[in-house]
Amino acid sequence: MAEIQQAVVGWAPTSNGLGVLGASPGWPLVDGQPWLPDQARTFLPRGSDAEVMRGTEPPGGLEAHPTAYGTILVSKVYLGRVGRPGTFTAHCVLDPSGRQGATDLLDLARDGVLRLREEQPDAEALPALQLTARRTQPLPGDVAPDLLAVLIARLADRTPLLLRARDRMTAIDTFAALARALPRRVGADMWWSSFVAHPYDPAETAGPGVGVVVAPFSVTDDFGASTGPATLVDLDAGPPTAPERARALCRSYLDHPERYGDAADVDEFIARLDALTLDPAAPVDDRALDLLAGDVGPVVFARLITGERGMTRLAEVVRAGRRLPYRALWSAVPELPAQMYAWFGPVQGDQDVQVRAQHVICSTMDTRNLARLVARPLAADVADFRPVIADRKLAGSLAGLGVPLDAYEWRVLTEEWGPVVTAAVVGWLEGWTHAPADLARLAADRAGFVAGLDAALAAVAAPAADVRDRLAGWRELPVEEWIDVLLECRNVPAGTPLAALGRLDRGGVRQVLRRDWPRLAGQAGIPAVVAEELRVRGLGF
């Protein structure tokens, strides 16, 4: 609860001049007289043609300004006397602490506290008002990002923003939304006016602020161009265009507005926004790397990976040895899945670039987060999206999810037998695909190869005769070595090693039979006594 002072200013009934008609006890005095801000003394420009003529609705004015005595709000009501363009009554409210934002003071109009018509106060002193703060956090989401970016650019340059619309209430509603979009103390450090008499007069629009240009009472030569310190936005002309830096500052704010709720003034607000504003096209420096390690890491990461140079920026992070904040990325970075699809999707351009991008992103993730942030979203869209897998670590994560192998365009196998190889071998033995092209190189680890092949065979549901034919016809390993592997696997269909002998000539067959006949016969299910009789009588060795 804050104590707010008030005063009423108008044309005194006993004189032809402007004066204070009443004030609360705490209203500041200057030389023994109630102090008045400049905006309480002027309204329509004297000597101009902007008079309120018969049949024209007189404009009202709400203005909030920071002053040496605190934040002041002036509500001005034009008296509508023809030929007297400066005649009005003003109700002034003052927050001596300066802590109340423009929105808190502007809400007094909605509460019916402000005098919005010509009326005289009581003869005694006016009471102080009690004001309860309406909010603790800003609401930037209520304003179109383009317009908010323009305002933030004006704050950074410490110059005003002026709004104009054919419908004055549209401009005022936008004006109020902009006030709500800023932290309270930032709003209290600016001026706000629903009526600007001289929009290009530096004396009237000094410093950062937002004003509504009201036609025909505001003096403007050209609504389409700014000829002074202010930027004029015509709300009827569509979204304004903000410079790149302004959009970057605005994005910093929209990502986490709660981080700026306690900003003390405009300068501190802009400095904080600048601290988190990164150019995705610029090389990663120590400042960006430090931001990655903080609580704003996901926000910074999102900026680094978006744009044409996202993969290059990631590579710089990897080379710097920094760990990316992946645990916080899933909920904090909505751009991530779309960017991943761009890097893992069907190749549209240079395949080497895609391979590098996948390697960079996968090398910075642990297996758990890789599956969560990349593999699962890709697996969920396999019906309409056929991802190209060019990184072994990602291939392993995807295969581990149990998605059919033919849902992907595989470019790699892992360096050891794992889920990807198992899925590929099962697909081959079931007759879905050809034998994996790189399978033979894994045979250097004989124990791992045998264990992996056994696991794949255990998962195959195809008829044993079909599996036997496919295994027997595989030609990537020398026959003798391949028969040794098949003899070591418990789940190989009976007779498969014998069938593999068909690839050898007569001399080669005899040599293998002489060496391995008991094992070959046993694997084929031939009783030992029969095998021995065949060896003696039929095979001749």
Give, for all 541 residues of the chain, the pLDDT tens digit. 678 899 888 754 445 566 787 889 999 999 988 898 876 766 555 544 455 566 666 667 888 888 889 888 888 877 655 444 446 778 889 988 877 777 777 777 667 777 655 555 555 678 888 877 666 678 898 899 999 999 999 998 888 999 988 887 888 889 889 988 999 889 888 888 887 877 777 777 778 999 888 776 676 655 444 445 778 898 988 889 888 778 878 888 887 788 788 888 899 999 888 877 777 777 888 877 777 766 666 667 777 776 677 777 777 876 777 666 666 655 555 666 666 666 666 655 566 666 776 777 777 677 777 777 677 777 776 666 667 777 777 777 777 776 666 666 666 666 678 777 887 888 889 887 788 777 888 898 999 999 999 999 999 989 999 999 999 899 889 888 888 899 989 999 988 888 888 777 777 777 778 887 888 887 878 887 787 777 776 655 5
The sign of the CA dihedral 239, 244, 245, 247 is: positive
Q: Are 252 and 299 in contact (CB under 8 A)?
A: yes
171 shares its domain with 109: no
Per the structure block, which two tokens stand in for 471? 């295994």
Between CA 100 and CA 95 the distance in angstroms is 7
207 shares its domain with 233: yes
Between CA 114 and CA 456 the distance in angstroms is 80
Within a domain: 14 = yes
166 shares its domain with 109: no
Between CA 217 and CA 50 the distance in angstroms is 5
Q: Are 360 and 314 in contact (CB under 8 A)?
A: yes
Provide the CA 246 distance to its chain's centre, in angstroms.
16
Within a domain: 433 = no
10 shares its domain with 125: yes
Within a domain: 33 = yes
Q: Give the 3-state DSSP-derived string for 445-469, with helices as H, strands as E and coil as C.
A: CHHHHHHHHHHHHHHCCCCHHHHHH
152 shares its domain with 126: no
118 shares its domain with 76: yes
Q: Are 310 and 353 in contact (CB under 8 A)?
A: no
Per the structure block, which two tokens stand in for 63? 């203005």
At residue 36, φ and ψ (nearest 5 deg) are -130, 130
123 shares its domain with 157: no
DSSP, collapsed to helix, strand or coil, labels residue 106 as helix
Domain boundary among 227, 248, 269: 248
Between CA 441 and CA 222 the distance in angstroms is 76
Within a domain: 184 = yes
Domain boundary among 193, 216, 248: 248
78 shares its domain with 172: no
User: Which parts of 211-366 fold into alpha helices (H)?
Assistant: 244-255, 266-275, 286-292, 297-305, 310-319, 329-332, 336-344, 351-363
104 shares its domain with 178: no
Q: Are 367 and 393 in contact (CB under 8 A)?
A: yes
Going by C-alpha positions, the residue among 489, 504, 500, 496 that lies closest to residue 524 is: 496
Per the structure block, which two tokens stand in for 272? 């904080």
Going by C-alpha positions, the residue among 133, 114, 135 that lies closest to residue 3 is: 133
120 shares its domain with 176: no
Q: Give the 3-state DSSP-derived string for 26-91, with helices as H, strands as E and coil as C.
A: CCCEECCEECCCHHHCCCCCCCCCCCCCCCCCCCEEEEEEEECCEEEEEEEEECCCCCCCCCEEEE
Within a domain: 213 = yes
Burial (CB count within 10 angstroms: exposed 0-12, middle 13-18, buried 19+), residue 399 = buried
The total number of structural domains in the chain stands at 2
104 shares its domain with 154: no
Domain boundary among 105, 131, 157: 131
DSSP, collapsed to helix, strand or coil, labels residue 10 as strand
Within a domain: 64 = yes
Within a domain: 122 = yes
165 shares its domain with 50: no
At residue 66, φ and ψ (nearest 5 deg) are -80, 140
Residues in CB range of 23: below 8 A, 6 or more apart: 5, 6, 7, 8, 34, 125, 126
Within a domain: 316 = no
* Confidence at residue 82, expressed as pLDDT on a 0 to 100 scale: 44
Domain containing 232 equals 140-248
* Confidence at residue 224, expressed as pLDDT on a 0 to 100 scale: 47
